Structure 1
Amino acid sequence: MILGALLIGASIIAQAFLTVEIVNNVFVDKIAFEENVPLLISLLLVLMLRPFLSYLMGRAGVKMAATVKQRIRKALLDKFSREALLTSHQGQSGQKVSVLLDAVDEIDAYYSKYIPQVFKTAVIPIFILIAVSTQHLETGLIMMVTAPFIPIFYIIIGIRTQKKSEEKLEQMTVFSGRFLDTIQGLTTLNLFRQSKKYRNIIKESSLNYRDATIEVLKVAFVSSLMLELISMLSIGIIALEIGLRLIVFNSMSFATAFFLLILAPEFYLSLKELGSAFHTGRGSMSAMKKVSEELGRESEEVTWGDRFIENRKTPPKIALKDVSYQYKDSGFSLSSLNITIEPYRQVAVIGRSGSGKSTFLHMIAGLLPPQQGEITIDDHPMTSLNEGSWFSQVSYISQHPYIFTGTIAENIRIGSKNASQSEIEDAAVKAGISAFVATLEQGYETIIGESGRGLSGGEKQRLALARAFLKKPNVILFDEPTTGLDLYTEKVLQSAMNSLSQNATMITVAHRLHTIRKADHIIVLDQGKVMAEGTDKALYESSELYREMVNVQTEEVTL
């Protein structure tokens, strides 16, 4: 960019010199047109060179901006993906999307416009000042005296611009967060007759964002007006001084006067363009501050290593050694868990609500890092494993599996990108969803709405099971997958789950105890501690808590 700025500065001087030389030759010295042809050709080449150089500098700025935005977005995505499950659920999704998209886009102008203009303004005015001073020192002094007023003014305005831009960005983030939350919960709002209230909230956020944007534009318009006024007054002073010397005092030649008058606007134009770019750059700094705050925000992250799981055909041995985890807000904690899960075992985890069942599953899945102790996979710490290597072994099916906007086939294929259509259909048959797909006009190419809109709870679960059948994992984690389903759908899902677990280790968090009483090993949690372990028969005889839970559910079924 420095070289480009130097060449543009030289081209401006050359353009002014050639223009003056041609005009002076034709109108003052009355030289024949043919003798000026080489000068005209040179002027034409310079006129073509200058915009070409400006284009190259602009293109370099755009490339730099694109590279920076790509790196920032990658850093944000890496941070979001490294965050533990609880941290990732904090804050509004809309605000995170706003930072990732809108705030990063706001940074563009700083690199694509402001930095290239800084290089130009650092070089071009100096070139022009030297050229002017060599021809007429007094005009050069006038330029040196008047030039500082432009940067002083836009620095003062720029401070206010940044403040207004920060307010605008904050209002945009608030608006994005509220709008996305409202859209996602629209059905609930209608049911509770709160849609009108939230419509007014969105309206208020929208108007606040509009007002913040108008304030930024007001500052921009005032800034442009004042920059134009200062540059026009400065050029006017120079023109007056040159006119007096040329006409009244007759102490300056026409060629010199014309040369100075051509370069004076170029001198102030460069400073003025920096002022406009500075205004844009200050707005970008507000966005950068927002992004920096997000990147600098402390968060709980899951640590991974570079070890790959060697035996991918056999489920690994999973061990929790003195594992503890405590929630900061509620104070609830899992304490000193010592559990070993052998390959191919069907393990069930039960307990009252809030006993730590889902937290236990999240830690095994690698979504939450233990705060004390360690989890080992085939005697290797989980923190030493490669993230992709571990997740390729695991399928996690929760109560509410997330279904993406797309076709049914795309949703099933999400964990196995190279799967063929026949493999997808086979997985759907095993998961018990093929009969439902067959009733659809477009079959596996049917588009599903965001979050699985259009599918029932059971259909979502079966779709998630189809993903697992296609992936063929070695470790399958179920987090109360049959909760809220009717008995028929539960039976279908239970059959599919049993089929899926034949070649894998299955760990199930269950609420309905009759679904897990045939498990090889049952773990009873209460208040974050392991109260008992064993088979259904052994626990029913030895654990009062387990016996109580079974009897309560038996009575509910009887009633």
Structure 2
Amino acid sequence: MADREQQADIDRGSSFASELARDREHREKARTAKPLRKLVPFILRYPGLLAAFIVFLALAALLTLTLPAAFRLVVDCGFGGAESSPACSSLPIGDDLSAYFIAGIAVAFALGVVSALRYYFISRLGERVVADLRTRVYSHLLGLSPGFYAQVRTGEVLSRLTTDTTLIQTVVGSSISVAIRTLVTTLGALVLMVIVSWKLALLVLLGAPVVIGPIMLFGRRVQRLSRSSQDRLADASARASETLRAIETVQAFTREDEERRRFSEAVEATFNVALRRIRVRAFMTATIFSVILSGLIGVLWFGAVQVQSGAISPGSMAQFVMYAFIAVSGVGLLTETYAEIMRAAGATERLMELLSSKDTLPVARSPQPLKTPVEGRIGFEEVRFAYPTRPEIEALAGVSFRVEPGETVALVGRSGAGKSTILQLILRFYDPASGRVTLDGNDLRDLDPKALRSQLSVVQQNAPLFSGTVAENIRFARPDATDAEVRAAAKAANAHSFIEALPQGYDTMLGEDGSTLSGGQRQRIAIARAILRDTPVLLLDEATSALDSESEAAIKAALASITASKTTVVIAHRLSTVMNANKIIVLDQGKVIATGTHDQLIKEGGIYAQLAELQFGASVVPETESA
């Protein structure tokens, strides 16, 4: 049991490591922004938020472009005096120095308020769109059959649901807003620069490539190194996750020093990449600052000559410099925003792939209703099936048998014989390639999968539990069950005594997958869950495999009383749990090779007798035959 738990820890660690590694792919950019069009229907659901954002976006852009003009009045009319310029003397403010500053402050204050409202509405819209998108994707994922998950990695699906939606939220709630506002203000600033002084505007435009070139060149280099740094960090985190989740195995094999060395190497690789990024960014900063400041001083030099000659006023010069700053910084911001938009486009494309994925199980348009009450008669008619991941190997090869209502049938055979596959077909997680699986004579393909599964209870071998309380895990089978019914199910599963001994009893919180409980305790809670569901058909997949002998005896007694009125299909490696079954079906390599009771199969010999002799020895031979 300990080996199984350790292996589970290793598997979870490997899965997490794979998820971190795959996260690198989720940062890739799309080639075009076209996939973002598919977000439009989600955005148009909220026309009020969208309209409010557009209004405040326009006002913010207008006020941003108005601020330099207000600053011009402050310089020309406030510092220079109204009498120095006819334009100033014609203003209603006149020569009141304070009034010009108050007007400038009013514009700045209005810009702050409008910008805050723009941010509020677009951020709210972005969060709402992403919440809807996550809900829709998750709802779609829940409806896909296990056949879909057999062909994709669950960690990748979860990463799309979290990482990709976060990228989209960043773009919808921030980047697109910034991009639109920056584009409007940059174009407006360029036009106004020409209006204020076409000579200065021409000088700035001629020098623009010298400024923008280093930004784009170094920016891409820094971006690549940043991504590489994140990749190396993911490698280090993945290694640490694998090791810590399997710490017992690591210590048991005295691998501490080796794991320390490997993690140290991963951390050093992360540091080296980060150091290269820091060097490039430092050089980029020095270059860009030198170029921008030199260019700005050059423009100011030429502007100062223009001011001295009286070609433009000092306020116009200040206004021009502010427009130039808006235009240059806007270009740099658009470069960064473009990269984010392309990554979000890639994320949108991957999410839409999930939403467009088809279920491997077709659902009948007009499902055939089950007659009530369900009798529980199960039939397999020449069923052939191969898993999608290995279509060349048949898991079931012409399997036929019947389970009558109220009958207990055991499936026995070596590992890989096809026992669990039969349960998965009964649950209609898969459809057979040929033949039929029926319930009360109805082909399962003609039934609504939810209606079918509502008549089935299952106890799986790995006894999966969920984070939450003990009571919530038992009530998972029937959410409307009362506390008394939950306790009765726990008592029937021989779980009540250990649950009561927990710190908060039935209200005790369990860790992920019930990790705070032993394997036997988890399995008894899973059995209680199936008992509480109380359906006509009960499916048991090694339901007592993790129990000690005393608990197994108690569970067998409880199951005996419960299965008396139910159709029960049992998978068992412990033959002691199925000796009293109405019928035992022996499987080998996907075929039924023998059927009968325990005594009949012992007399026939074959695989069942071999398995029985390995577990019980010669005592399994009937006395009449040994006499």
- Code of the residue aligned with 2:409 in structure 1: it is V
- The residue aligned with 1:183 is 244
CA contact (8 A) 1:164 1:215 kept: yes
Q: Which moved more, 1:255-264 or 1:132-141?
A: 255-264
CA contact (8 A) 2:586 2:595 kept: yes
Q: Which moved more, 1:443-452 or 1:310-319?
A: 310-319
Alignment of 1:243 with 2:304, yes or no, is yes
- Code of the residue aligned with 1:394 in structure 2: it is L
> Percent identity over the alignment?
22
- Supply the distance in 2 between the matched residues of 1:556 and 1:146 (Cα, whole angstroms): 97
Where do residues 49-128 of structure 1 align in structure 2 (5 Å cutoff)?
49-63=110-124, 65-67=126-128, 69-70=130-131, 71=133, 75=137, 78-79=140-141, 82=144, 84=146, 87=149, 100-102=161-163, 104-105=165-166, 108-128=169-189
3-state SS of 1:123 partner: helix
Relative to 1, partners in 2 of residues 1:253 and 1:286: Cα closer, same or farther, differing over 3 Å?
closer
CA contact (8 A) 1:186 1:195 kept: no
1:12 is aligned, of 64, 80, 102, to 64
Alignment of 1:393 with 2:455, yes or no, is yes
- Code of the residue aligned with 2:188 in structure 1: it is F
- Code of the residue aligned with 1:28 in structure 2: it is G
- Supply the distance in 1 between the matched residues of 2:613 and 2:63 (Cα, whole angstroms): 92
Provide Cα deviations, 1:161-190, integer angstroms capped at 9, x if missing partner: 553354345445544544443333222333
Relative to 1, partners in 2 of residues 1:181 and 1:38: Cα closer, same or farther, differing over 3 Å?
same
Deviation at 1:325, TM superposition (A): 1.4
- The residue aligned with 2:472 is 410
Alignment of 1:288 with 2:347, yes or no, is yes
TM-score normalised by the chain length of structure 1: 0.83
TM-score normalised by the chain length of structure 2: 0.75
Relative to 1, partners in 2 of residues 1:121 and 1:309: Cα closer, same or farther, differing over 3 Å?
same
- Supply the distance in 2 between the matched residues of 1:132 and 1:152 (Cα, whole angstroms): 21
Alignment of 1:24 with 2:24, yes or no, is no
Deviation at 1:127, TM superposition (A): 0.9
Relative to 1, partners in 2 of residues 1:42 and 1:235: Cα closer, same or farther, differing over 3 Å?
same
CA contact (8 A) 1:303 1:369 kept: no
CA contact (8 A) 2:374 2:455 kept: no
- Supply the distance in 2 between the matched residues of 1:534 and 1:89 (Cα, whole angstroms): 37
Deviation at 1:131, TM superposition (A): 1.6
Alignment of 1:533 with 2:618, yes or no, is no
Relative to 1, partners in 2 of residues 1:421 and 1:250: Cα closer, same or farther, differing over 3 Å?
same
- Supply the distance in 2 between the matched residues of 1:223 and 1:385 (Cα, whole angstroms): 65
Where do residues 347-386 of structure 1 align in structure 2 (5 Å cutoff)?
347-373=409-435, 375-378=437-440, 381-383=443-445, 385-386=447-448
Over the aligned positions, Cα root-mean-square deviation in angstroms equals 4.0
Relative to 1, partners in 2 of residues 1:336 and 1:63: Cα closer, same or farther, differing over 3 Å?
farther
- Code of the residue aligned with 1:190 in structure 2: it is Q
- Supply the distance in 1 between the matched residues of 2:311 and 2:187 (Cα, whole angstroms): 26
- The residue aligned with 2:314 is 254
- Code of the residue aligned with 1:272 in structure 2: it is G
- The residue aligned with 2:576 is 514
Relative to 1, partners in 2 of residues 1:279 and 1:353: Cα closer, same or farther, differing over 3 Å?
closer
- Code of the residue aligned with 2:548 in structure 1: it is D
CA contact (8 A) 1:323 1:338 kept: no
- Code of the residue aligned with 1:458 in structure 2: it is G
- Code of the residue aligned with 1:252 in structure 2: it is I
Deviation at 1:497, TM superposition (A): 2.0
Alignment of 1:192 with 2:245, yes or no, is no
- Code of the residue aligned with 1:438 in structure 2: it is E
- Supply the distance in 2 between the matched residues of 1:293 and 1:148 (Cα, whole angstroms): 38
3-state SS of 1:415 partner: coil
Q: Which moved more, 1:151-160 or 1:267-276?
A: 151-160
- Code of the residue aligned with 2:347 in structure 1: it is M
- Supply the distance in 1 between the matched residues of 2:498 and 2:168 (Cα, whole angstroms): 48
Deviation at 1:356, TM superposition (A): 1.7
- Supply the distance in 2 between the matched residues of 1:445 and 1:89 (Cα, whole angstroms): 38
Deviation at 1:304, TM superposition (A): 5.0
Alignment of 1:497 with 2:593, yes or no, is no
Deviation at 1:401, TM superposition (A): 0.7
Alignment of 1:488 with 2:550, yes or no, is yes
Deviation at 1:525, TM superposition (A): 0.8
- The residue aligned with 2:332 is 272
3-state SS of 1:417 partner: coil
- Supply the distance in 2 between the matched residues of 1:190 and 1:508 (Cα, whole angstroms): 38
Deviation at 1:428, TM superposition (A): 1.0
Provide Cα deviations, 1:203-226, integer angstroms capped at 9, x if missing partner: 444444555555556655555555
2:608 is aligned, of 524, 546, 554, to 546
Relative to 1, partners in 2 of residues 1:89 and 1:552: Cα closer, same or farther, differing over 3 Å?
farther
3-state SS of 2:77 partner: helix
CA contact (8 A) 1:113 1:277 kept: no
Q: Which moved more, 1:36-45 or 1:515-524?
A: 36-45
- Supply the distance in 2 between the matched residues of 1:194 and 1:293 (Cα, whole angstroms): 44
